[in-house]
Amino acid sequence: MKNPFFKNTGPYKLNELLKLINFKDQNFSDFTVNDIKDLNTSEIGDITFFHSKKYSSFAKTTKASFCITTENLEEFLPKNCKAIVSENVLLNTAQITQIFYPDSTIDNFDDTVEDINKTEFKNKVKFGKNILIGKNVKIGSNCSIGHNTIIEKNVIIGDKCSIGSNVIIRNSLIENNVHILDRCVIGKKGFGFFPNKNSNLRYPQIGVVIIRDNVEIGCGATIDRGSLSNTIIGKNTFLDNQIHIAHNVKIGENCVIAGQVGFAGSSIIGNNVFIGGQAGISGHIKIGNNVQIGGGSGVIKDIPENTKVMGYPAKNIKQFLKENK
């Protein structure tokens, strides 16, 4: 999928990229690099990154031509992918992403927006007062938008959707029959930094938010767009009020998540998962299908499917109840 929200300034010569980030080893042939993507979505001519053995299964099948990685992980890459061995994979990835997408760390307001009464949606959408719509927005049939809401450029909204009041939506693709309640902010940049002595370096965020059919999002929810991949909410999933979903999170189908749950970046949630209020989900972990997580739990490691857990750290619910009689 071509990114409709961020402009790719490439292609670049590989040596040129490495020179721009002051990379030590610049002795590569005159290869051309078209784009930077994650391991899953990379294509021939792209550069990707691989920083943890946890993602070795994705590394083995990547179609990328080049990969920023470590000496220890190089062996997992296919023959078609040339390793660029780095001492700081994530930092170098962020630097190259910033070159391809220089506006990816900035969330300026959309200066293309105009009053909905001046747009094609004046007679197509039911709407309240003070609605602003950006350039190239698409909205399906039988939709409604509440007061003081902003839908920024290139956002796509499907049929039979309702958007509440005081909502901001950017960098998002929303399917059919989605209901977003008041005061949600969807598609803003995620919270990713590299500590630096002089100033923190923000990690670029070039992904989007994808919300599948029949999803409901409660009041005050915040859903960050992805960094190199996308943040995805699966079909028939219901989110309660004041939930935070960080960049790259993937939530499966038919999930029910209670209020004030927080998901750290790149966590993957299976189908039919139930999570109680105020639970916290650490980053880069996987929760299997049919898992139930008790309210207030802290999940700091993977949870296999068909499991019930509770507590901090989250443990099997029978063990938790036995220890807390």
pLDDT of 2-22, one tens digit each? 778 999 999 999 988 988 888
* Mean per-residue pLDDT of the chain: 94
pLDDT of 43-97, one tens digit each? 999 999 999 998 999 999 999 999 999 999 999 999 999 999 998 899 899 999 9
pLDDT of 180-189, one tens digit each? 999 999 999 9
Active-site annotation holder among 179, 244, 247, 284: 247
How far lies 208's CA from each of 79, 162, 186, 195, in Å?
30, 20, 10, 25
51 is catalytic: no
- Report percent pLDDT > 70 for the chain: 98
208 CB contacts (<8 Å, ≥6 apart)?
Answer: 3, 4, 5, 171, 172, 173, 187, 225, 226, 230, 231
- Domains of the chain are 12-100 (3.40.1390.10), 114-323 (2.160.10.10)
Q: What is the DSSP string of 98-167?
A: HHH-TTTT-----TT-EEGGGSGGGGTSEE-SS-EE-TT-EE-SS-EE-TT-EE-TT-EE-SS-EE-SS-
| 269 in Cβ contact with 250 (< 8 Å) | yes
Say yes or no to pLDDT of 204 above 70: yes
Q: Which carries the bigger pLDDT value, residue 139 or residue 1? A: 139
- d(C-alpha 118, C-alpha 8), whole Å: 31
- CA 102 to chain CA mean position, Å: 18
| Beta-ladder partners of 82 | 66
